[in-house]
Every structure is written in C-alpha cells, then in structure tokens.
C-alpha cells in the first residue's frame, strides 16, 4: 500500500476530510491499539487513519487506566476525529473491543447494562460513547493478531507505547 504521511505537512487528513461534502460518506481504514504500563497504570492509545493513500496518526493517554479502556479509547479517538459520517473499517487486536461492540453490547443494552452474570458492565461510559459513534458512522470491525508483525497494527502499537512514555514524562494532560 502506497501511503503519504501527513505528520509534517500543513494540512492534516482530518482537515482534508472536512472539505468533503458530508453526504459523500468516505471509505476509511483505521488501525487501533491500546497499551498500559501496569494494569491499571499509565496508559496510551494509538490509531492510524488511512484514506486514499493518505495517513494520519492520532494518540492520547491517561495517567491511571486499563488496557481495555485504552483499546476502546483508540477506536473512540478515530471516530470522534471524523468531521462527517463515514464508512470506517476498524482493525483492532482487542477481542474485548471487537466482541463487545459486535456481539455483547446488544444484550447489555437489553439487560440494562448488566452482564449475563447480572454484574454491571465494565467501562460502560466508553461503551456508551462507542454506541453513539457507531450510530453516526458505518463501522465494520476486524480483528488482527497483535504483535505478529502486521505493519499497521505495529504502527498503532508504537503510537500507544509512545503515548504511555509521554504520559509518564508529564507531556500529556
């Protein structure tokens, strides 16, 4: 795949997407990953967005979080960054994220956000955000094996790990 990285250019991929007509619903790809130093501990998330040969990195972190929350924040970060409804294929190495959004959430909602064991769903706040965002965007979820040499997944993982370092150094709010 031929990719142009926009990190050092004046116009970001997100800025380019803002110029498209909202009715266009562009087809995008995103690779996401979350990481945590300790679980819980300082965490980071990374995401790489692709559109027509262009690429943009997004990342963030939290001082005290879990790996699952960072996996979810990566997907939320991508979807929140999109200025208009889009068709997005999200690739994640988190079965928790993929299965939660594609299999489990429907029953959690029916059961008042309780699991089949009658316990409150963990990370409900983030599941609610994802639910709202997947109503706005058409999302197809894919699972990829983590740490297996998949270039885009490794890129997202590096962004997440760098976000942890930035968090530990006090470089992130």
Q: List residues with catalytic annotation.
A: 33-34, 71, 93, 147, 157
pLDDT digits (tens, 9 = 90+) for 81-94: 999 999 999 999 99
In the chain, count H helices and then E strands: 6, 6
Contact 97, 71 (CB under 8 A): yes
pLDDT digits (tens, 9 = 90+) for 105-151: 999 999 999 999 999 999 999 999 999 999 999 999 999 998 888 89
Contact 129, 67 (CB under 8 A): no
Structurally, at CATH architecture level, domain 4-168 sits in 2-Layer Sandwich (3.30)
Per-residue pLDDT band at 65 (split at 50, 70, 90): very high
For the chain, which residues make up each domain, given as ranges?
A: 4-168
pLDDT of residue 114: 96
Interval 28-44 mean pLDDT: 96
Strands 54-65, 41-51: pairing is: antiparallel
Cα 152 from chain centroid (whole Å): 13
Q: For residue 3, give Cα distances in angstroms to 7, 40, 49, 145.
A: 12, 35, 11, 22
Prediction pTM value: 0.92
pLDDT of residue 119: 96
Per-chain mean pLDDT for the chain: 92
């Amino acid at each position: 795949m031929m990719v142009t990285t926009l990190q050092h250019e004046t116009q970001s991929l997100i800025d380019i997407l803002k110029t498209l007509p909202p009715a266009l619903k562009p087809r995008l790809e995103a690779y996401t990953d979350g990481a945590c130093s300790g679980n819980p501990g300082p965490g980071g998330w990374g995401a790489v967005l692709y559109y027509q040969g262009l690429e943009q990195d997004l990342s963030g972190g939290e001082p005290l979080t879990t790996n699952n929350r960072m996996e979810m924040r990566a997907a939320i970060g991508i979807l929140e960054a999109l200025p208009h409804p889009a068709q997005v294929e999200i690739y994640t190495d988190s079965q928790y994220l993929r299965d939660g959004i594609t299999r489990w959430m429907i029953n959690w909602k029916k059961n008042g956000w309780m699991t089949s064991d009658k316990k409150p769903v963990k990370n409900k706040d983030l599941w609610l955000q994802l639910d709202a965002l997947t109503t706005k965007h058409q999302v197809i979820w894919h699972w990829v094996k983590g740490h297996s040499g998949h270039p885009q997944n490794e890129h997202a993982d590096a962004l997440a790990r760098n976000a942890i370092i930035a968090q530990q150094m006090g470089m992130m709010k």
